[in-house]
């Protein structure tokens, strides 16, 4: 009887999968940095979190290029990529926004909506990738904006932090609706999430 080898799952990873895992690690690191900011209020933690999301995008691009270069792709790789993207471009940007001061009740609802849209966008892509592929097996276009576009939001927050516009100084201030707080800046996340689940067709480069 053949017994499975220890760490047999890791042995099956392709080179591209390691880049995908690096993407996920960057996203988790960003979450830790936000938590450190909430404890210490050292703004450099916000900068570091935003820099890690930028690094995550680099790894996200590289994993696809490496997979095509080595002509090694798998269903596991696709699932890994989606899970990593949820962390780095969904949960982490929402956490950065929360750390920057979007902590009102309506803010939390919008940020939850943003993450849910990101998860839905990735799930839809995974189940429709084959039907969107051409004869060579390459996906011709995206439906809805890809979740890594949330990097634009992250860079916006990094700029706000550099100008001291976080916490009580957030751009556009805050408003009270029914006794609960809304920071208008969080509506950028609502727009981003809505675009992700739209039917807009974007050519895949």
Query: What pLDDT band is residue 11 in, cutting at 50, 70 and 90?
Result: low
Beta strands in 27-146 (DSSP E): 141-143
Is the Cβ–Cβ distance between 123 and 19 less than 8 Å?
no
Rounded distance between C-alpha atoms, residue 42 and residue 34, angstroms: 10
pLDDT confidence of 66, banded at 50, 70, 90?
Answer: confident
The pLDDT of residue 4: 57
In this prediction, residue 93 has a pLDDT band, given cuts at 50, 70 and 90, of: very high
Q: For residues 202 and 205, what is the distance between their CA atoms, to the nearest angstrom?
A: 9
Nearest by Cα to 113 from 32, 45, 191: 191
- The answer to whether 81 and 63 have CB atoms below 8 angstroms apart is yes
Its sign, for the CA torsion 64, 18, 86, 151, is: negative
Structure tokens at 62: 């590289």
pTM of the full predicted structure?
A: 0.88
As a whole number of angstroms, the distance between CA 147 and CA 19 comes to 17
pLDDT band (50, 70, 90) for residue 92: very high
* 205 pLDDT tier (thresholds 50, 70, 90): low
Which CATH superfamily includes the segment(s) 15-203? CDP-alcohol phosphotransferase transmembrane (TM) domain (1.20.120.1760)
Record the tokens describing residue 92, joined without a space. 């982490």
Sorted by where each begins, the domain ranges of the chain are 15-203
What pLDDT shows up at residue 127? 81
Mean pLDDT of the chain: 87
Residue 12 has pLDDT above 80, yes or no: no
């Amino acid at each position: 009887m053949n017994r499975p080898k220890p760490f047999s799952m890791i042995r099956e990873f392709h080179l591209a999968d390691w880049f995908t895992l690096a993407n996920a690690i960057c996203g988790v690191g960003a979450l830790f940095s936000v938590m450190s900011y909430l404890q210490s209020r050292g703004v450099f933690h916000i900068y570091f979190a935003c820099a890690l999301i930028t690094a995550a995008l680099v790894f996200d691009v590289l994993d696809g290029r490496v997979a095509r270069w080595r002509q090694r792709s798998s269903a596991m790789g696709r699932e890994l990529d989606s899970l990593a993207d949820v962390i780095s471009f969904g949960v982490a940007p929402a956490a950065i926004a929360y750390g920057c001061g979007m902590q009102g009740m309506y803010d939390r609802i919008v940020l939850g909506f943003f993450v849910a849209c990101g998860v839905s966008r990735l799930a839809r892509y995974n189940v429709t990738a084959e039907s969107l592929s051409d004869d060579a097996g390459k996906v011709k276009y995206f439906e809805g904006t890809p979740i890594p576009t949330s990097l634009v939001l992250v860079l916006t927050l990094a700029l706000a932090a550099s100008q001291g516009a976080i916490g009580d100084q957030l751009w556009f201030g805050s408003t009270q609706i029914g006794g609960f707080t809304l920071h208008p800046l969080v509506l950028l996340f609502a727009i981003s999430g809505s675009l992700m689940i739209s039917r807009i067709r974007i050519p895949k480069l």
